[in-house]
Amino acid sequence: MKLLGADVIIECLKEQGVDTVFGYPGGQAIIIYDALYRARNEIKHILTSHEQGASHAADGYARATGRVGVCIATSGPGATNLVTGIATAYMDSVPMVAITGQVPTGLLGKDSFQEVDITGITMPITKHNFIVKDVRRLADTIRKAFAIAREGRPGPVLVDICKDVTATEVEYTPRIPDKNDYISNKYNEISSAELEEAIKAINRAERPVILSGAGVGIAGAEEEVRLLSELAGIPVSTSLMGMGTFPGTHELFMGMVGMHGTKTSNYAVHNCDLFIAIGNRFSDRIVSKVSSFAPNAGIMHIDVDSAEVGKNITVSYPLVGNIKDILQTLIKGVSPRKNTQWLDKIFKWKEEYPLKYDKSQEILRPQYIVERLYELTGGDAIITTEVGQHQMWAAQYYKYTRFRQFVSSGGLGTMGYGLGACIGAQLGRPDKKVINIAGDGSFRMNLNELATAVEYKLPIIIALFNNRALGMVRQWQELFYDSRFSQTSIDRGTNFKALAEAFGAKGIDVSQPEQVDAAIKAALAETHTPVLINFEIDKDDKVFPIVPPGAGINEVVDS
């Protein structure tokens, strides 16, 4: 059948099972939006307040559901406003397809109105990108984009489409998606000798440690990690992005590792004789000082992406391929053991060095707020965050028991991420309560998306940790720069409760510990209205533990 290019885009989205897209219209995308109007009963379009909000919402939707998130923008500034969100998704391996309008093919390269080379701009921050100048290639390009976004290590793909392509008729043939379309779906072949060496290393290790990263959750291998841990008596830490890939309530869980990891996790890594990293890229926030990271251990790295293996840390046992399949093979060969002496040491550290804060209840503490959020939600909420101190408190004090429960910008550290992501997560998972734990500095950056949450009657909660400062930078200035507080005070007199109400949301002020439970319960009771709880916390509250810059992770301090 003959369809306009714009309608082909919509039909391809439907082929891929897309039911929700996030975006903002404009001149070069107007024909796409006309097609969306015709398909309004089949695809829900969420009109955000800014294109960056659309990209973060698509990201949050993808992280919370495991499906490909989709965002749409027009050319020029519309497209460039997506860039931060695309980079955020790229750094954290989030499957996303960003569709941008482009000037007509005859105007390309002429500095036309709202023309930018968005494929050139996004080349370093996408798995792949396309510019479509021929309508006959449009359908296959859209299909390839989704296949690439999902394949192996997921990531964002951009499809830039010239306006005349969207306005041209073409013969369209419907197609039922096949997971093998356009991609090989073949993983690296691991030799039996490599697997045997890895199994021997695990069986002879006396002090093994597992680091479970986001790749575990992406591969659906959480159960395999738990089985390996319990079978061989191996304690487990997670990365920030790996939260929930191993239950935070499990006795073998040690907490997060690295710069703001627990002392138990960091001491265990420093003293282990085998470090098993699964679905993790050894970022600087985990490793800190390379020369003192797991100095007496053999390093085993299990990952789908060969480019990550050996990139930051020398690896003794590289296993590149499908994480789930590799772990199942290892489990078959590993001998059951209790590892009593090593685990006794771990349990002793957990008892001696728990996460701690002043619980005197004299002032409102952010750690206490997160603990109450955990208790009052039964540990079942999806938590999104902005970036800063509050992000670390959310990681440390909420016990995550499943992957896709913690949604946060890890690799890029994008302030302003959380609210858009919260909206996307709530739309993707309407069956869950979604809470955005935010700092006032990050929240200011994209707070206009409150209007989006109100418009679509989303019962999200914004737990605003308001310390009137850029808290994490201020903490570093105090600890490492002799308290030279340069440009980190943002005490601008903003009334966040009134601000929320101006948007049509509900606002609650909390300044005392005894007010916390009532505020959270009131927010949880809302079913169609966003609620912002303005928690007034002290600007001098700090995130501990912390590894000082240049130190090894074993040099972690907790006060």
Is residue 292 domain-shared with residue 395, that is, in the same domain? no
Of the three residues 352, 376, 398, the one that is the final residue of a domain is: 352
Same domain, yes or no, for 328 and 224? yes
Residue 175: what are its φ and ψ, rounded to 5°? -145, 135
DSSP state, residue 555: G
| Residue 251 structural domain | 192-352
The predicted model scores a pTM of 0.97
411 domain-assigned: yes
Give a yes or no: residue 543 inside a domain. no
Strand runs labelled E in 446-497: 461-466
In a domain, 39, yes or no: yes
Residue at a domain's end among 352, 384, 411: 352
Whether residue 184 lies inside any domain: the answer is no
439 vs 218: CA distance, rounded Å: 28
**Cis upstream peptide for 545 (omega within 30°):** yes
> Cα dihedral sign for 330, 335, 339, 342?
negative
**559 in a domain, yes or no?**
no
Same domain, 157 and 12: yes
Task: Residue 513: give its domain's CATH number.
Answer: 3.40.50.970
In this structure, the answer to whether residues 389 and 532 fall within a common structural domain is yes
Count Cβ neighbours within 10 Å for each residue of 163-180 and write b for 16 or more, e otherwise.
bbbbebebebeeeeeeee
- 559 residues of the chain, pLDDT tens digit each: 999 999 999 999 999 999 999 999 999 999 999 999 999 999 999 999 999 999 999 999 999 999 999 999 999 999 999 999 999 999 999 999 999 999 999 999 999 999 999 999 999 999 999 999 999 999 999 999 999 999 999 999 999 999 999 999 999 999 987 766 666 556 677 889 999 999 999 999 999 999 999 999 999 999 999 999 999 999 999 999 999 999 999 999 999 999 999 999 999 999 999 999 999 999 999 999 999 999 999 999 999 999 999 999 999 999 999 999 999 999 999 999 999 999 999 999 999 999 999 999 889 999 999 999 999 999 999 999 999 999 999 999 999 999 999 999 999 999 999 999 999 999 999 999 999 999 999 999 999 999 999 999 999 999 999 999 999 999 999 999 999 999 999 999 999 999 999 999 999 999 999 999 999 999 999 999 999 999 999 999 999 999 999 999 999 999 8
- Taking the C-alpha atoms of residue 250 and residue 210, their distance in angstroms, rounded to an integer, is 14
Residue at a domain's end among 140, 171, 202? 171
Same domain, 233 and 117: no
Q: How many CA atoms lie within 13 A of 47 on its CB side?
A: 9
Q: What letter represents residue 450's amino acid?
A: L
- Gyration radius from the chain CA atoms: 24
Query: Which residues are known catalytic residues?
Result: 51, 113-114, 163, 472
The CATH number that applies at residue 317 is 3.40.50.1220
Q: Is 378:401 a contact under the CB 8 Å cutoff?
A: no
Split into its structural domains, the chain has a count of 3
- The angle that helices 192-204 and 323-333 make with each other, rounded to 10 degrees, is 60
Task: Check if the beta carbon of residue 209 is closer than 8 Å to that of residue 273.
Answer: no
Instruction: For residues 521 and 422, state if they share a domain.
Output: yes
CA dihedral 509, 514, 520, 526 (to 10 degrees): -70
Tell me which residue has tokens 């041209």.
168
Q: Are 304 and 414 contained in the same domain? A: no
